[in-house]
Amino acid sequence: MILASHPLAVAVITLSIAAGITTLVVPLVRTLGLRMGLTDQPDSRKQHTTPMVRLGGVGMVLGFCGALALTWAVGGFGVLAPDRDQLIWTTLAGSLCFFIIGLADDLFALSPWPRLAGQVAVAMVVWSQGVRIGAVDFPWLSDASSVLVLPDLLSLAATVIWLVGITNAINWLDGLDGLAAGVAGIAAVGLLSVSFSLNQPAAGLLAAALAGTCFGFLRHNFNPARIFMGDGGSYFLGFTLAAVSIVGPAKGLTTVSLLLPLLILSLPLADMSAVIMGRLSDGHSPFYPDRRHLHHRLLRAGFSHRRTVLLIYVFTQWLAALAMVVANVELRFLWLALATAILVGTVVVLRRRQMVETARKAERRRLKAEQKSRRSPIPQNHA
């Protein structure tokens, strides 16, 4: 079949199908959620002021699974070796299990520890089916001992920490309209490019489906959002991103392929680490709800909702471009230069607009104070 010899074309088709299905299905999910009263109520920690349906993850899963199923039906999986084919289905099964854990939390408000236990259990099963960090090699060493084969126990621990850690980093990032979906979509595009540069079509196919799902969902989730993805959606995104980064190599991971997802996702991972350390230093649980996240800090610094999201977007795309340089992607320095220009230009423009708006607000306050002083009566001297 023609598709079997064109893996990049298969990836582009898969991305487009995922985006189309997600875009069409999400409004139906929103309508159903409103009818059933399955909404997220506003509170002091949240940005929305009206009840919102938080079942967008259902539409995302349908878009992702539908795209992979259609690609498989038309022979797109012919670009993969049989063992790579199995890893696609294992990853899909794991992502569905993580989605179910998050959906249960959306519907029944589970406590953090049962959710964490469920994530660890699913990660262990996925590891047993071959989605694992089994070995790491060091390409700058030429001798055979440069390959470090991990014992099963260490491999299991590394894989579980990897899958669960990235999943929760994306989940904690989901605090503003469009933030988690946009960052995950940009990261997925970065992983797509890097996967094909490293000749990993299985990872590329999964990344393409995930990117399309994210961009299709953003049509309904960007500020002002009409639907939230919920924990089901964020768990699904996080696990899939984490799994994509380790399903490509046939025998474990090189240090380069391990570094790339860490680099692309360094912003949410660093944010999660800083929040956890801050909570622990205050004597709280790592799951204690607060407003320590990066997006909360940017809002307090005076950035608007959209500008905060845009700023995190452009920084993520710069990290993805940096990962392309590490992976020796074709025209990598051109992409990095373009990403740097976008980052610097966005920061400069946003800063100037913020300064102008701050000056205008100060001027309005001054004029109001003057008008108030003019209207106030002059006290009479009754000496």
Rounded CA separation 44/284 (Å): 19
Q: What is the pLDDT of residue 249?
A: 46
The per-residue pLDDT for range 100-110, each reduced to its tens digit, is: 999 999 999 89
Structure token pair of residue 115:
């959710």
Instruction: Please give, one letter per residue, the 3-state secondary structure of 312-343.
Output: HHHHHHHHHHHHHHHCCCCCHHHHHHHHHHHH
- The answer to whether residues 305 and 223 touch, using CB atoms and an 8 Å cutoff, is yes
Structure token pair of residue 190:
């970065």
Percent of the chain residues topping a pLDDT of 70? 87
Nearest alpha-carbon partner for 189 in 111, 282, 261, 124? 261
Q: What is the pLDDT of residue 171?
A: 94
Q: Can you tell me the mean pLDDT for 352-357? A: 86
Rounded CA separation 337/339 (Å): 5
Confidence of residue 48 (pLDDT cuts 50, 70, 90): low
Structure token pair of residue 369:
């104070």
pLDDT surpasses 60 at 254: no
Q: What is the pLDDT of residue 4?
A: 53
DSSP-assigned letters across all residues of 238-280: HHHHHHHHHHSSTTSEEHHHHHHHHHHTHHHHHHHHHHHHHHH
Three-class DSSP category at 67: helix
pLDDT surpasses 80 at 81: no
Q: What is the pLDDT of residue 128?
A: 94
Q: What is the pLDDT of residue 292?
A: 87
Within 13 Å, how many C-alpha atoms sit on residue 195's CB side? 27
Confidence of residue 381 (pLDDT cuts 50, 70, 90): low
Nearest alpha-carbon partner for 316 in 191, 218, 231, 205? 191
Q: Burial code of 225-255, b = ≥16 C-beta within 10 A, e = fewer? A: bebbbbbbbbbbbbbbbbbbbbbbbeebbbe
Instruction: Please give, one letter per residue, the 3-state secondary structure of 184-197.
Output: HHHHHHHHHHHHHH
Structure token pair of residue 367:
């004029």
Which has the minimum average pLDDT: 22-31, 92-101, 288-297? Answer: 288-297
Q: What residues contact residue 220 under an 8 Å CB cut-off, 6+ apart? A: 23, 26, 27, 30, 56, 226, 227
pLDDT surpasses 70 at 137: no
Q: What is the pLDDT of residue 15?
A: 96
Nearest alpha-carbon partner for 292 in 172, 179, 183? 172
Q: Can you tell me the mean pLDDT for 317-323? A: 92
Rounded CA separation 226/115 (Å): 26
Q: What is the pLDDT of residue 47?
A: 61
pLDDT surpasses 80 at 364: yes
pLDDT surpasses 60 at 380: no
Residue 136 pairs with which residues in a beta bridge?
148, 253
Summary mean pLDDT of the chain: 86
pLDDT surpasses 60 at 142: no
Which has the minimum average pLDDT: 154-158, 325-329, 378-382? Answer: 378-382
Q: Can you tell me the mean pLDDT for 61-90? A: 83
| Angle of CA points 81, 85, 91, to nearest 5° | 140
Helices (H), the chain: 7-36, 56-73, 82-108, 112-128, 152-173, 179-197, 201-221, 230-247, 255-264, 266-281, 294-300, 305-326, 332-375
| Angle of CA points 11, 15, 19, to nearest 5° | 170
Nearest alpha-carbon partner for 165 in 261, 296, 308? 261
Q: What is the pLDDT of residue 252?
A: 47
- The answer to whether residues 243 and 97 touch, using CB atoms and an 8 Å cutoff, is no
Q: What is the pLDDT of residue 215?
A: 97
Q: What is the residue whose two structure tokens read 């400069």?
A: 348
Q: What pTM did the predictor assign?
A: 0.88
Confidence of residue 49 (pLDDT cuts 50, 70, 90): low
Residue 148 pairs with which residues in a beta bridge?
136
